[in-house]
Structure 1
Amino acid sequence: MNYEQLSLIQLDALKEIGNIGAGNAATSMSKLIHKKVDMEVPSIDIVAFDEVMEMVGGADKLIVGILFQILGEAPGMVYLLFSIEEAETLIKEMTNNDEISLSIDGEQSELAISALQEAGNILTGSYLSALSDFTNINMQPSIPHLSVDMAGAILTVGLLQVSEVYDFAIIINTKMNDAGEKQKGINGQLLLLPSPESFNKIFQALGIQGYE
């Protein structure tokens, strides 16, 4: 299965799923932090693996990655990716504490990690739920595994697992806004990597011709 761009119609179908997931996630996040949250999906891209690292700032960039296994009828993996700065902004919003940071005296803050994992549960769960409803394929996220490391170290394992069968990934770019201050939105990227046997199942369920 070789890398190739999907048509505009196919990308629109994926973006619609992303928008539904974003709406669900915004509702859940608003309840969690007691503040109105707007979420949008600026773009959905199908990119070759060698472009994935560049989209997150390069293999050597320090990032936060939250990994989920996709459980159910279409297994695979999902990465939720944030820059360190975006992750810390999100932590402060969720804890309502401007003094909190991802690490304290070189040690990771348990409260910060817990907040990010909860955000990951909400965002990933909302997108997978939307995809599941749209395709009638049961998909659920596992418990989250969070890493703070260079992008290359975080992503290589997942990309290697599927690279022998296909060489592209679905990236859903997301933006979380305080409803009153949209210029201060928090950007993240959700990287969807269905297992090889799941890829055609998902796209055929969306009415998209499978790959040979």
Structure 2
Amino acid sequence: MPSEFSTVQLDALKEVINIGGGNAATSLSQLINKPVHMTVPTIEVMAYEDMFEQVMSEDTMIDAVLTKMFGQAEGVFLLVGLEEDMKHLASIMLPENSETMLPENSETNPEMIDSALKELANILVNSFLNAVTKLLDINLLTSIPLLTRDMFGAIVSSVYMESGQYDDTILILKNEFYYMGERMEAALYFVPTPGVLDKLFSVLGV
């Protein structure tokens, strides 16, 4: 479908996301002392209803960690994945010598898993934004991460409405990360508030 953004604007945005995501992957690698790699960022403009066909079914139950961004630009970051995949993802944040922290035993300590997921989102988002603020010389802050479990459609709809996004056309920015050669079954999304991308393009000169 036609995009309201030019190819030059999307390429510039992809480069910013690539730099931020690379910084996030480096920070995570240093924290767990194991290599984490990032894919080339995906940027898609699509009709809202198409998202549930091309990205994920709206009735799929997921874990999502929500982090709000505010300051000179506003928006919401979402670290999203299926519950079992997110438990596996959280396990890399936890000590290897603790059996109660392994994915197969994580039901015995859900608070630890939840805490690890929120900390993971905090590291990814803030590492990402630290790179962006240095690149663009703007001031950005984040809220405390919040973890929620619900259907994908319900979570995304709530975020878009809260962000003032009522357009039928939506912009999806997504990075995926690889750990020990395997794709981490979760993705970091960014939902900008109206006008934020125009400001960003202005700073980038595109």
Bin of the TM-score, shorter chain as denominator length = 0.7 to 0.9
Q: Deviations over 1:98-145 (max 9, x none)?
A: 73359627xx70110111111101111122233333332222221101
- Matching residue of 1:64: 63
Q: Is the 8 A contact 2:47 2:168 kept in 1?
A: no
C-alpha displacement of 1:176: 2.5
- Matching residue of 1:125: 126
Q: Distance in 2 between matches of 1:8 and 1:26?
A: 26
Matches within 5 A, 1:85-96: 85-95=84-94, 96=96
- Matching residue of 1:163: 165
List, as ranges, runs of 4+ consecutive aligned residues in structure 1 with deviation greater than 6 Å: none
Gaps of 5+ in 1: none
Q: Distance in 2 between matches of 1:112 and 1:37?
A: 19
Q: Distance in 2 between matches of 1:55 and 1:65?
A: 18
Residues 85 and 51 of structure 1, relative CA distance in 2, 3 Å threshold: farther
Residues 86 and 42 of structure 1, relative CA distance in 2, 3 Å threshold: farther
Matches within 5 A, 1:22-171: 22-95=21-94, 96=96, 99-100=102-103, 104=107, 109-161=110-162, 162-164=164-166, 167-171=169-173
Q: Deviations over 1:15-59 (max 9, x none)?
A: 222221222112211222122222223522233322333344211
Query: What number of residue pairs does the alignment pair up?
Result: 201
C-alpha displacement of 1:175: 2.0
Q: Does 1:191 align with 2:194?
A: no
Q: Distance in 2 between matches of 1:190 and 1:84?
A: 15
- Matching residue of 1:174: 176
SS of residue matched to 2:39: strand
RMSD, aligned α-carbons: 2.6
Q: Is the 8 A contact 1:94 1:115 kept in 2?
A: yes
C-alpha displacement of 1:155: 1.4
The structure in which a higher percent of residues are strand is 1
Q: Does 1:11 align with 2:10?
A: yes
Q: Distance in 1 between matches of 2:105 and 2:65?
A: 14
| TM-score using structure 1 length | 0.81
